Each structure stands twice: as structure tokens, then as C-alpha cells.
Chains A and B, each alone.
Chain A
Amino acid sequence: MEWLTRLAMRLRALRRGDTVHREITEEWQFHIDLRTEENIRRGMTPEAARRIAEQHFGNRGYIKDLSWEERGGGLLETLWHDLKFGIRQLRKSLGFTVIAVVTLALGIGANTAIFSYINAWMIKPLPYPKADRLMVFVSHDKKKGWTRNSVTSTADFFDFQKQNTSFEQTATWAGWNFNLTGDGPPSLVEGGRVSWNYFETLGGKPMLGRTFTPDEDRPGAPHVAILSQGLWLSRFAGEPNIIGRNITIGGEAYTVVGVMPGTFQFPLMGIANLWTPLALTDKERADRGSSWLSAFGRLRPGVTSKQAGAESAALFARLETQYPLTNTNLTLLVNSMTSEIGRNEGAPEVMICFAIVGLILLIACANVANLMLARATGRTKEFAVRGALGATRGRLARQLLTESLLLFFFGGLAGMFIGLWGMRWIESQIPDHIPMYLVNYGHVDLDFATLAFHAGNCAVVRLRPRSRVRKFAA
């Protein structure tokens, strides 16, 4: 609390310096008056009494300086003066200021925009609990070398599901277009047919109702469906009692059992607004020839992706000898979902982009540093005069530092707007068929930590010319 009182005192001196000065003067006048009275009592003439009192008090100017160090605004006061002076200086050379601020803003803005995207797409974990435990299954032909983002065959997958010991759960899905009729004009809705545990394996929780049950994932089971928040709001006007209501898909009645929140995304499926259970028939489940399903799984605690991969390789080697006609050379790879999604996003291109804007920022900083250096050279006379008048080296350095920080503050501020605009531009430049594969699409926010980081970086680059001050102040 003590520092708070102190801060309050400093602020008071800053805001009401006159009052503080007056108080000090009054206190001293009181002192001198009492001393004068005392001197008169000792037999001095009033004039002599006052003169002696003043003399004994000492050098007022000097004492005032000492007092102001304690009672004045302290560092805050210096900072305030520096800021005022800095703004005056920047306004005086408006051309320089505008160029420097715009240069910085472009560098900082471009970096922030790009990095905000990189952060959302590639650095932030996927929006699922314990996303690093999620693995995607990829078929691979050992001889021909191709890989495909689906299982080798439906029957293979169910063998794998039954026999593996590495996964807590494995789920399977297929992208699907649904023909929605009733409740307005017919429309084609993108979504997926999914195994009952699809949502559970990802860790997605419904905002209304529930997800599917194992019984609903069987042929002949009553038809059920889950809507996305978007579809619920747009087509059903956010009807509160949507759960249990019937909708018509492909001419058949489906009961809505749940609504998934807008934050639930699965980039590998793309845009998805409607899900129904796969409900595979026995014949489909026994199909070892075709592969129209994709699958992923959640690793058991303690099992590494490498162990899971090794288990899968062994299992598929057995299937190869068992079903040579369909399975020769085929195996199922276990890849991390994070990197799988990252690859689909064209990670190298994004990183190249980032490297380019990083260099731009560096160039911007160097340019501004040069500009300021040139300006400092032009201000040699000013520093010489101030040094001669008694400004210490530290004082001059602090002044220059404040000016640079001001510049970077404005640069950062303008950079923020350029960053926001840049993000909107990036969003508008993403081809229509891409967004659905982007994690966090539509949920990318300007990354303020990044903004501050870039602005700070520039400022550090800028601190060097401070050494120039040394020449002018002893």
C-alpha cells in the first residue's frame, strides 16, 4: 500500500504542481517568519531580523531542487515532459513521422495478420480435448507407394477395430450430401454419415440433445439425425423444441436427437451441417474390396503413435496372408491428426508467406532505424546545446528512447488496423472450396500477443542509436 500512497503523491504533484509548490513555499515562509520574530525578540531590528532569518535558511533554489526530488512528480514527471516534448518533435518533422509510422505499420500489420492465421491453423491445437491423441488411418500400398485418406476396406477396418489394443476408440465416417425437404424449399445439405461414436471419439459435445447410440448405428434402426448449430438456426429458425422433431431427408422421416455447436469442426470432412449414423448392413461390413470410409481413432493412454503403427502393420501383414486377393501390399498407416490436417492446409506455402513477411518486418525496422539515425545526425546541435545546459547523458538517452517508443506505439496502433484489414483480405482471398478444410475457419482473431511482440521487437532493434548520445553529453 505504501507505494500506492507514494504514487498518489507523485500523481498529485504532476497534476497540481502549482499547489505542491505553494504548499512548500508556505511552509518555508512560516519557518522564516517564526525565525524573524525570534530574532526581533533577541533585539535585532526587523530588517536585520528578516535578513538573518533568510540567510540562515540557506539557498532556496538549491533546497527547492532537493525538495522537488522528493515531493515532485519524480520519474513520472520526467516521462510526462519527455512525452510532450517527443510529440512536439514528431509533429515538427511530420514527413519523417508519417513515413516511419507507415513503414512500421505495414511491417507489423502484415506480420500480425499472417501470424494470426498461422497460429489459428497450425500452432493452436485442434479444437478437441487431448487432440494429440487423435490418429488418422491412411491406406498405403507398399509396392506402388500411394497413400489414401481412407481405410483399405470396410471389412479390414472392422477387423482392425476388433483386434487392435492401441486405441481407446476408433470411429469411421463418410462425407455425404443430404436432400432436405419440408420446412421450406428443398436443399442439398453437406454433412456425413458417421459411426455412432464419431462425436465421442473427437470429444465434441452437443449443445442440445445427445449424440448417437450404438443401437442407432444398426441397419433397420429408427432414423435419427444431428444438426449443426448453423442449420438449426438458418433452416429451423433456432426452434427451441427441435429435439425429437421429425425432419425429412431423402423423402424419409428422421428424428432430430442433437444439435452440435458452431465451434465443432472436423476439417477433414469439410463443411458439415447434418449427420446421420452409418448403420452399415452386414453385407457392407463384410466388403473387403472397396474403401469408401475414412476413419480415425483415439490412442489409449500411454500408447505412442509408433506403437500403434507397429501394431497396425503386424495386423495388416496377417490380413495380407489371409486375403491375398484383395490385401496384397496393402497396409494401414497411423498418422497424427494434427499433421494430417496441417498437410491438407498447404503448410509449406503458409510458412513461406510467414518468412517473407518476417523479412519485410526486418527491412521495415532497418529502414526506420536508418531514418532515425539520419534524423539524430541532423539534431547534433540540439543535443550539444542541451548537453551544454547540463542535461546528463542518461537524460538525453531517455528523451530519445521515449521518442522512439512513441513512434513504435503509433506504428503498432496503425499496424493493428492494417493487420485487421489484412486478415479480412486473406479471408477473402481463400478460394471457396478451401475454407471447410481450415481449422478454426471463421474463428481467427487478431493475435494481440503477436502484435505486441512485433512492436516490441522493432523497438529493441531501434534502441541502438542511443549510443550516439554519448558524443554529446559528458
Chain B
Amino acid sequence: MTGKQKPELPQGTLDMLVLKALSLGPMHGYGVGQRIGQLAEEMLKVEEGTLYPALYRIERRGWIVSEWGVSENNRRARFYKLTREGRKQLNLEEANWSHLSVAIGKVLRTA
């Protein structure tokens, strides 16, 4: 059972990935999961269910909004959409992330 194992992602990374996934356009939770899979490939073992609390948290912060819609296979599904604040937040986090990864990369190469 992989039950209680938390995703092995640095704190806050999941939020950034979700925002990135939604920056491509509105999508339901499953689709967000798929997109993150494509984005991060197999490196990231996100427990699929934990995506939802993350979505709810991001929504509460006002970075995304959600509403019921119809999926590609004609089922009722909840779609999430990036807000203007969400886009701002994504830009900020992307900038921070690239900063950090460059810095860490440097340390790893020289040390």
C-alpha cells in the first residue's frame, strides 16, 4: 500500500505544477493530473488523490476558480481555470524556481 506516503516533492512545488498545467487552459482534476504527468514525466510520483486538496487550497487562495462543466466524454466534471492572480503567482514561482535551481546546480557542480 502506498496509502499515506506523501508526494516526494519539495514543499509548494505541487502548487506551481498545478498552476503551470492550468496555464495551458481550463481543465478538470484528472486532466490536471495527466498534464502534470506529461510535464514532469515519471520523476514525480504524485499520488493522484492528493491533487484534489491541492486544487482546493489553490482555489481558496484565489489563484484558480472552478465550476461544473461537461467533459470530453460527456460527463459532469469540475473544471478549474487560472485567474489573473494565479497567472501572476505562476510567473513569480517560476522565476523563483529557476533562480533556485541554477544556484543549487552551481553548488553541486563546484562542491
Which A residues form the contact surface with B (CB < 8 A)? 2, 5-6, 9, 23-24, 26-28, 30-31, 33-35, 55-60, 62-63, 66-67, 69-71
Contacts and interface: CB of A to CB of B under 8 A. Distances in A.
Contact of B48 (A6, A9, A31, A67): A31
Interface in B1-18: 1-4
A21 to B, nearest CB: 13
B22 to A, nearest CB: 15
A278 B29 CA distance: 91
B106 interface: no
14 contacts: A2-B62, A27-B28, A27-B52, A28-B52, A30-B71, A55-B1, A55-B2, A56-B47, A58-B47, A58-B48, A59-B3, A60-B49, A69-B53, A70-B53
Contacts, number: 66
A26 to B, nearest CB: 7
Shortest 4 CB-CB contacts between residues of A and residues of B? A70-B56, A66-B53, A58-B49, A58-B47
Given A59-B4, A60-B49, A63-B50, 16 more contacts: A2-B62, A5-B62, A27-B52, A28-B49, A30-B28, A30-B29, A30-B76, A33-B75, A58-B3, A58-B47, A62-B4, A63-B52, A63-B53, A66-B50, A67-B56, A70-B56
Given A2-B62, A26-B76, A30-B77, A58 B50 contact: yes
* Residue of A34, A58, A70 with most chain B CB atoms under a 10 A cut-off: A58
Contacts of B47: 56-58
Given A58-B50, A63-B49, A63-B52, A34 B4 contact: no
B77 A27 contact: yes
B59 to A, nearest CB: 8
B86 interface: no
Contacts of A24: 52
